[in-house]
Structure 1
Amino acid sequence: MPHVPVASHTQTHVIPKQPPSGRRTGKPAWYAPAAVLGDVAGAAVPVYLFFALADSPYAAAYATAAAAAWLLVRGARDRYCERRLGERDNIVPALQDWLVLVGLLAVVRAATGEESPFLLALAALVPCAPTSAGVQTLIHRHLVTRRRGGRAVRRALLIGEADAVDGLVSHLARRTDHEVVVVGVCPVGDEDPQALAPVAARLDRQAPPRMSADSAPVLEAARRLDVDVVLVVPGPYMAGTRLRRLSWALHGEERPLVVVPGLTEVAGRRVGVSSVAGLTMLNVAPPLRRGLATLLKSVTDRLGAALLIVLLAPVFAVVALAVRLDSPGPVVHRQTRIGRGGVPFTMAKFRTMVADAERLRHQLAGTNEQDGRMFKIRRDPRITRVGRVLRRYSLDELPQLFNVVQGHMSLVGPRPPLPAEVAGYDEVELRRLAVKPGLTGLWQVSGRSDLSWDETIALDLRYVDNWSPSVDLGVLVRTVRAVIAGTGAY
C-alpha cells in the first residue's frame, strides 16, 4: 500500500492512502485473540501447575475456573475492545483487574464452601497480572511500530484559525505513537497556516447566513480525503451555534466531530463534561492534594522506605565499603536540596565523586551539557570508578530512603533541586515544588539525564498536576526496568 510522507518540524509522520478496497486498515485482527490467549495461559497454567504439584485431584477444574473468571473480569472491564487494545502498556490496569479477580473468587469460594488452601490459591493467581501486562506490552509495541509507518491511524480533517491549526499540527507531529494523522486543514479566515498538511477548504470568519456555506466545503473535503474524524479548534469565529450546526452536517454522514479545547497534560480522570442552561462545559478537577489518597501515600512512603532499608541492609554495607576503599572522603555525601513549598532539607546519597567535587565544579562550568538549570556532564572527571557503577544502577540514591522515612521526600515525585537551581526558576518551574521530591519519578523512567530541561519540567509538571496512587504504582514498576537498563544514568 503506498504512503505519502508528511513532514513536521520534529519528525515525519506518514499518511496512508485509502486502500483499493475502500476499507480502512485498522488494528490487526490478531490483537484480541492474542490478548485472550495470553490471559487464559496466564491464569490456567500457573493454577494447574500449583495444584498439580500439591497433588490436588481438581487441578484442571481449578485452572478452568480461574481462566474463565479472569476472562470475565477482563472482558467486563473492556480490556479486549479494539479502541483499548495496544493503547497502553501499563501494568496498573492489570493489577486493578487482578484485585477484582481475587475478590470475585473469594466470594465464589465462600458461597460454594470450597476448601482448597487459601495461600496456595492466592499464589497460583499471582502470574495473571504480569502475564496480561506482558502481552499488552507486546501488542502496544507492535501498534506503535505500525503507527510510525502510517498504519492503524485515524485520518483527520482539522478546522480552526491559522495559528491554532499550526499549533495543533505541530503538537501532534512531535510524537508518532498516537492514532491521529492530520490529512487536511480548513482554516477559518484568510490567513494561510504554515502546517504542511494541505488546505482542503477555507471557511469565512463571519458565520454565514446558510448552514451549507460551512457544511458543504467541509463535507466535500471530508469525502475527498476520506477522513475518519473532524477535529475543530474552537475560537471566536468557530463556536456556539456555528459549531453546533457544523456537527449536524457531519453527524448526518456518520462522521464524528472532536472539539479540541487546547488543554494539555491533564489526565482524563480529572476532566468531566456537564451541561448548564444548554451550554456544554468542560470541568477540570483540581489535582489531589489532600484526603485519604494523600494520607495513604504518606503512610506507604514511610513504611515502604523503612522496609526497604531493612531488606537492603546488606547492599548498604557492600556499597559503603566499596566507596570507602575506592577513594578518600566520606562514604555519604550530604547536600542541601529544596523540598515541598520551597523548604530546604539535607539530602543524603552515597558519594560518587572525589572529595573536592564542589570546588572543581566551578572549573567545569563551561562544559555543562544540560540546556537548563541542571549541571550535567556525560563524562564528568570528578566521578570515581565505583561512582560510575553506583550511578548507572542508581545505587547512590539508596540513602535517600532515610529522607523518605523522615518525611522530607517521597518514594515517587519530581527530582529534588538544588537551591541555586530554584533561584533561577520562573513561575511555571516553581510549580515543581508543589509536592514532595521523590526518590524516583517520571524523569527517571523516561530517560533521566538524557532528557532536556524542557522535557524534565514537562514530566515533573505532568506528575504534579495528575498525581494519583495508580500513577505512583506505575512509576515504581517502570523504575525497576529503568534501573536495570541504566539508560540515561551518568
Structure 2
Amino acid sequence: MSLQQTHSHKIREQLIQRYSQVYQLGIRQRLHFHLRRLLWFAVVQGLFVFKRLFDIAAAAVALLLLSPVLLATMTAIRLESPGPVFFRQTRVGRWGKLFTMWKFRSMYIDAEARKAKLMADNEMQGGVLFKMKSDPRITRTGRFIRKASIDELPQLWNVLCGDMSLVGPRPPLPGEVDQYSLADRRRLEVIPGITCIWQVSGRSDIPFEQQVELDVAYIESQSFTQDIKILLKTIPAVLLGRGAY
C-alpha cells in the first residue's frame, strides 16, 4: 500500500469512527446534528455563490475599464515580435481539473523549446517552479508587462468562465503538480486565482515551500473580507513590482 493510500485509509477510518456515533444518539439529538450539518453546508455554499457573483461582476467591470490598456498592450506585442498576441497554457485547477489559462505573450515564440537549456539557471529554490530574473526568452515589451503584471490581465476572461477566481492560489503547471508532495496538493482544494496571499508578500522572492504554507493558511481561513484585503494589497504590490520577473 502506498503512502497516499495509507493516509487516505486512516482518514476514512477516523471519519467512520467519528460519524458512526451519531446513529447511537436519540432521535432529537440526531435531528439536531443533521440540522447543524445542513446549516454549515448552506453557509459554505452561500459564501461560494457570493464569491462567484463578485468575481463575475468585478472581472466584467475590470475588462471594460482596462480595455485601453489591453489594446495598447496587444499593439506593442504585435509590433515588437512575430507570433500571437496571447499565450495559452494548460494549468491545473481545483481538484486537478485542467484548463486553458490566458496571458499576454511576454516571450519569443520559441521560449518553451529553449527552456530545457536554461533549467540549470533556475533561481527558484526547490526546483518545482522555474524563474529567472534575467530570462533571455523575454521580449522588451514582455519585461515591462511582467513587471507591471499587465501580462496577467487576460486571466480576467478565465474568471468570467469560472476556471479562476480573483483571489486564490496561483494555478500550477501539470509538470509542477507531478512533483508535489501530498501536503503540496492542498493548494488544489480551491479555485485558483489571479492574485494570492504570497503575491502581495514578495511574489517570486518567496520560496516554494513558503508559498504552499501561505496558500494553505489562506484556504483554512478564507473569507470575503480577506479576499478584499488581498485585492487592495495587490495594487501597491503591482506598482512597486517587488518580486516580479
The reply to whether TM is greater than 0.5 is yes
What corresponds to 1:321 in structure 2?
75
**What amino acid sits opposite 1:387 in the alignment?**
G
Structure 1 moving runs of 4+ over 3 Å: 286-289
Quote the Cα distance in structure 1 between the aligned partners of 2:108 and 2:124.
Answer: 21
* Equivalence for 1:377: 132
Note the C-alpha offset of 1:346: 0.1
Partner of 1:21: none
Tell me, yes or no, if structure 1 residue 402 matches structure 2 residue 157.
Answer: yes
Q: How does 1:9-408 map to 2 (within 5 A)?
A: 290-372=44-126, 373-408=128-163
Looking at structure 2, the residues matched to 451 and 305 of structure 1 have their Cα atoms a distance apart, in angstroms, of 27
**Offset of 1:288 from its aligned partner?**
10
Q: Which has the higher strand share?
A: 1
Distance 1:452 1:363 in 2: 22
Q: Distance in 2 between matches of 1:289 and 1:403?
A: 26
Tell which structure's C-alpha radius of gyration is larger: 1
Separation in 1, partners of 2:80, 2:43: 44
Preserved CA contact (<8 Å) 1:287 1:467:
no
Partner SS state of residue 198, structure 2: helix
Among 459, 465, 477, which residue is 2:232 paired with? 477
Are 2:203 and 1:460 equivalent residues in the alignment? no
Could you tell me how far apart the structure 2 residues matched to 1:289 and 1:332 are?
A: 38
In the alignment, is the contact (CA less than 8 A) between 1:323 and 1:351 conserved in 2? yes
Mapped to 2, the partners of 1:288 and 1:307 lie a distance apart of 29
For 1:310 and 1:289, locate their aligned partners in 2 and report how far apart those are by CA, in whole Å. 32
User: Which letter does structure 2 place at the counterpart of 1:399?
Assistant: P
Distance 1:396 1:331, change over 3 A: same
Q: Find 1:412's aligned residue among 133, 145, 167.
A: 167
Aligned residue in 1 for 2:203: 448
For 2:209 and 2:166, how far apart are their aligned partners in 1?
Answer: 23
Residue 11 of structure 2 aligns with which residue? Answer: none
For 2:218 and 2:195, locate their aligned partners in 1 and report how far apart those are by CA, in whole Å: 12
Structure 1 CA distance, aligned partners of 2:204 and 2:101? 19
**Pick aligned residue for 2:185 from 420, 427, 430:** 430
- Unaligned ranges ≥5, structure 1: 1-285
Kindly provide the CA deviation profile for residues 356-386 of structure 1, in whole angstroms up to 9, marking residues without a partner as x.
1000001111111111210001111101101
Pick the structure with more helix per residue: 2
Shift in Å, 1:287: 11
The aligned amino acid for 2:229 is G
| 1:154-186, Cα deviation, whole Å (9 max, x unpaired) | xxxxxxxxxxxxxxxxxxxxxxxxxxxxxxxxx
2-side partners of 1:388 and 1:366: how far apart? 21
Size of the aligned set, in residue pairs, is 205
TM-score, normalised with respect to structure 2:
0.81
Residue aligned with 1:444, SS: coil
Q: Distance in 2 between matches of 1:471 and 1:408?
A: 21
Asked whether the equivalents of residues 288 and 468 of structure 1 are also in contact (C-alpha less than 8 Å), the reply is no
Deviation at 1:443, TM superposition (A): 1.7
Secondary structure, counterpart of 1:387 in structure 2: helix
SS at match of 1:482: helix
Mapped to 2, the partners of 1:450 and 1:481 lie a distance apart of 16
CA distance in 2 between counterparts of 1:353 and 1:473 reads 32
2: CA distance, partners of 1:344 / 1:291: 23
Judge conservation of contact 1:288–1:467 (CA < 8 Å) in 2: no
Give CA deviations for 1:52-106 in whole Å, capped at 9, x if unaligned.
xxxxxxxxxxxxxxxxxxxxxxxxxxxxxxxxxxxxxxxxxxxxxxxxxxxxxxx
In structure 2, the CA distance between the partners of 1:309 and 1:454, relative to structure 1 (3 Å rule), is: same
RCO higher in structure (CA 8 A, sep ≥6): 2
**8 Å CA contact 1:334, 1:346 repeated in 2:** yes
Distance 2:149 2:179 in 1: 27
Tell me if structure 2 keeps the 8 A contact 1:287–1:465: no
The CA deviation at 1:319 is 0.5
Alignment partners' CA distance in 1, 2:217 and 2:149: 23
Cα gap change, 1:382/1:287 in structure 2, threshold over 3 Å: closer, same or farther?
farther
> What one-letter code is carried by the residue in structure 2 that aligns with 1:297?
K
Measure, in 1, the Cα distance between the counterparts of 2:77 and 2:234: 24
1:288–1:294: 8 Å Cα contact kept in structure 2? Answer: no
Relative to 1, partners in 2 of residues 1:306 and 1:366: Cα closer, same or farther, differing over 3 Å? same
Structure 2 runs not aligned, ≥5 long: 1-39
Once residues 47 and 72 of structure 2 are traced to their aligned partners in structure 1, the CA distance between those partners, rounded to angstroms, is 36
User: What is the Cα deviation at residue 488 of structure 1?
Assistant: 0.4
Does the 8 Å CA contact 1:391/1:489 hold for their aligned counterparts? Answer: yes
